[in-house]
Amino acid sequence: MELQIPKGTRDTSPEEKIVKDRIVSTLREVFELYGYAPLDTPILERFDVLSSKYAGGAEILKETFKLTDQGNRELGLRYDLTVPMCRYIAMNPTIKMPFKRYQIGEVFRDGPVASARYRQFTQCDVDVVGSSLMSADAEIVALVYSAFAKLNLDVVVKVNNRKLLNNILDYCGVQKEKQEAAILSIDKLKKYGISVVKGELKEQKIDESRVNKIVDIISVRGNNQEKTSQLKKFLKDSEGLREIEEMLSFLKNMNCDADFDVSLARGLAYYTGTVFEGLLKNSNVKSSVCGGGRYDKMIGAFFGKGNYPAVGISFGVDRIYDALVEKQKITQKTNTQVYIIPIKTLNESMKIAQQLRDAGINTDID
């Protein structure tokens, strides 16, 4: 038998685990600095929860690890921490609102294997449930900058709004039933380029004149104010644009900034408003190191009634680790503070080691 691990997974050595634990500890410290409390949920979820109407959508379900237990019940490994949290709130409706929680745990996706893309990875999530104010969205962005400052990594947070994308598609004459698929194609602009996006939109039976109009709008250039000014010329009453401006105003007051990217959509179907994505500057880690947004319909879908405002973001520990390795910003790879080398003094060395440990000093005997 050839000993191997599954593709898209990896063992974590003690040295790596120490560093990853420090990343998680740093993120936890920042989460609690902003007033978030911890939550934990099972890795296994009922498949009907993971596949519900306002969960991740068809794209993420293709990557869901599905299994059946001995009672012939359909289960799945969680693909994120957001859906389980929504299920938790729906099962505990008396929770005081707004509910600010963070959760750190393993998630699983049976997707394509690539550099910095794994099938099992650690996510660190923060979410605010019960607030529709754009101040909550702005706080998430500020938290991201605080976290990466503590990790000594330079990050830019890109922001957009799903409502704005729907407003743009309305303006371009795209039918409502085609808009979700169109938005998922728009999200590929930065990664695959204009020709791929145009091709996909045409495959969705959107005529060429409308496709060109869409691409022109989402490719708008300039600083944030210039972009919003250009969009206002043809979007006279856009709720999504108003929300973007309000959030950017809060961020300005907090001495924070974000990059308004009109093509950003995020791949999950449950987003209803603001979307965020954190990208590292000057790094070979090109995938996002954090991402999230507003999802006002998911929790209400579990309740079976109305909208339930919520916004959050998820950090990818493995990608952050890869970036720290690349930047050579990893220094200490052991938790041991003192090493004792006994030279024909094993009994005395063990005695001293125990005294040091009793004093709270991490000690090892070589």
* Cα(102)–Cα(126) distance, integer angstroms: 4
Among candidate residues 332, 333, 282, 292, the one with its CA nearest the CA of residue 316: 292
Q: Provide the b/e sequence for 8-41 (b: ≥16 CB within 10 Å).
A: beeeeeeebebbbebbbebbeebbeebebeebee
pLDDT in tens, 94-140: 889 999 999 999 999 998 776 657 899 899 999 999 999 999 999 99
- pLDDT for res 284: 75
Helix (H, G, I), strand (E, B) or coil at 363: strand
Q: How many whole angstroms separate alpha carbon 213 and alpha carbon 218?
A: 9
Residue ranges of the chain with per-residue pLDDT less than 50: none
pLDDT tens readout for residues 241-254:
999 999 999 999 99
Report pLDDT digits (tens) over 167-203. 999 898 888 888 888 888 888 877 788 888 888 888 8
Computed over every residue of the chain, the mean pLDDT equals 88
Tokens of 323: 């970036």
Query: For residue 339, what pLDDT is reported?
Result: 83
What distance separates the 2 farthest-apart alpha carbons in the chain? Answer: 85
What 8-state DSSP symbol labels residue 6?
Answer: P
In this prediction, residue 75 carries a pLDDT of 97
Q: What pLDDT is recorded for position 135?
A: 96
10 Å CB burial of residue 142 (0-12, 13-18, 19+) is middle
CA pair distance 320, 290, nearest whole angstrom: 9
d(CA 345, CA 365): 11
Walk me through the domains of the chain, giving residue ranges and CATH numbers.
14-336 (3.30.930.10), 337-366 (no CATH)
Q: Is 240 in contact with 264 (CB distance < 8 Å)?
A: no
